[in-house]
Chain A
């Protein structure tokens, strides 16, 4: 099997070859999309991602071997257009996720009630997070891309990925702490980026 860049190069002259890229990566794009927009829209995001990718294949950077960051970047752009659907999907995350919190996670946070509260707080934190931080966080958590891959997907420098991830993780951490220590007053101000990235 040839590398992605080789396949995409061939597909410029022989378009049907592009189906190989689909066969290779469609399931991974679907897995990423399902977390963000739920079952009912993940099929559409998967399909649309490859239509856009096919139309843009001539602009793919052939020096990059792995096409996944490029594909996940397209999928992320498409998901942004479904922001309202995404918000509803997190309602589902609260309902489904709370029931499916793995055993060791329950052990970590104490009881199932605590785990359910933690999931609820995380879903709420995701919903309120700035879109650029959420994109970086969910690409990193759910698409198996590393920092460089996320940077490539979002078209931003790696240092920016790091600062966005720091900020997003700080927000999540604060949310899960809020859940586990409800008696504590939690500061609702913004993340101290300087401290986080120091």
Chain B
């Protein structure tokens, strides 16, 4: 039996209950009869059953219990230089005033993500290249109001495999539907019918005490990523990157990062998208990549993130120390947002 067959056998061949089929059908008919912004999806009752749920509850219970003892805080933390930079940034973040968004205005979060990908045509060689994905998120002053999200088309930055230019050009045409930006609009930020909390994080429920926050993060990311500490840093970077976290939460996140073992200054003069800051990261031994967040210690602002290859990846023409991906985020206040978007980005 090969690995694929084993994987297929592991898959539960379950059918939905009649109750959940009926509920899904009702949600669909509610949409059919009431076109316009997509309603929030019908949340099913969380069922409890099976060994996995019991095991999950056991682990979760243990972690909740250890909130007194805690996974965070007693196993050491970031090295002293990194901790000092993070503390300085946290102090700055808390005193740094968030831009005030007045009624009718929007907080504009511009983000760009550049990363290595690959493609292959029928029987052709694998071609590695770098693409850029960018988007502009407009968050209204009233967070229950209409959010607007412009997702720009993918653009090719660089072709890494010699001779791959023609294939990349065919995969990413610069005209036609794929080259058009997608414009989404949804009340309360429920793009694609998904509530804003599951997409952007429920900031209100996150503790502001760094120690409790770090344990909250360990609990939330349980089982994900290449290590609990590495994934905690990824969670912190993800949350900071959204650009919508309030100042007190940003400060707590930076202090929580200072409590993660293995976190260190990886580059004190890291330049990202033209801005220089301090790179703080953690080497993950497993996948040969190092995730870093780059912050401006003087303001506590996140400049961006990057992933650096710690060993060469010849098939992608990447050398040790090369940047595998980076992303930057900037926020500002604007008076208007594009109009005409739909909840799924397609014309209705």
Contact = CB atoms under 8 A, between A and B. Distances in A.
Interface residues of B, number: 79
Nearest to A89: B52
B77 interface: no
A84 B279 CA distance: 25
Contact of A90 (B27, B223, B346): B223
Interface in A136-191: 137, 140-142, 156-160, 162-163, 169, 172-173, 175-176, 188-191
Contact of A88 (B39, B124, B223): B223
Query: Binding site of A, secondary structure by majority: helix, strand, loop or mixed?
Result: helix
Contacts of B10: 93, 97, 100-101, 119, 122
Nearest to A125: B3
Contacts of B315: 190-194
Interface string A86-109: 011111110111011110110011
Contact of B41 (A51, A128, A192): A51
A84 B15 CA distance: 23
Contact-residue bracket for chain A: 35 or more
Contact of A95 (B12, B49, B55, B123): B55
A141 B2 CA distance: 12
B13 A159 contact: no
Given A35-B12, A127-B225, A47 B24 contact: yes
Given A55-B348, A56-B344, A96 B50 contact: yes
A88 B192 contact: no
A84 to B, nearest CB: 6
A30 interface: yes
Interface of B: 1-16, 20-21, 23-25, 27-29, 31-32, 35, 38-39, 41-44, 46-47, 49-53, 55-56, 59, 117-126, 171, 192-194, 198-199, 220-226, 285-288, 311, 313, 315, 342-344, 346-348
Given A44-B44, A95-B55, A118-B6, 11 more contacts: A19-B25, A27-B15, A40-B46, A47-B44, A50-B24, A56-B344, A91-B223, A93-B10, A95-B51, A96-B51, A193-B118
24 contacts: A16-B32, A18-B32, A19-B25, A26-B16, A31-B13, A39-B14, A44-B41, A44-B42, A44-B44, A52-B192, A55-B344, A87-B225, A91-B223, A105-B5, A127-B224, A132-B117, A141-B4, A141-B7, A142-B8, A159-B121, A159-B122, A176-B3, A188-B286, A190-B288
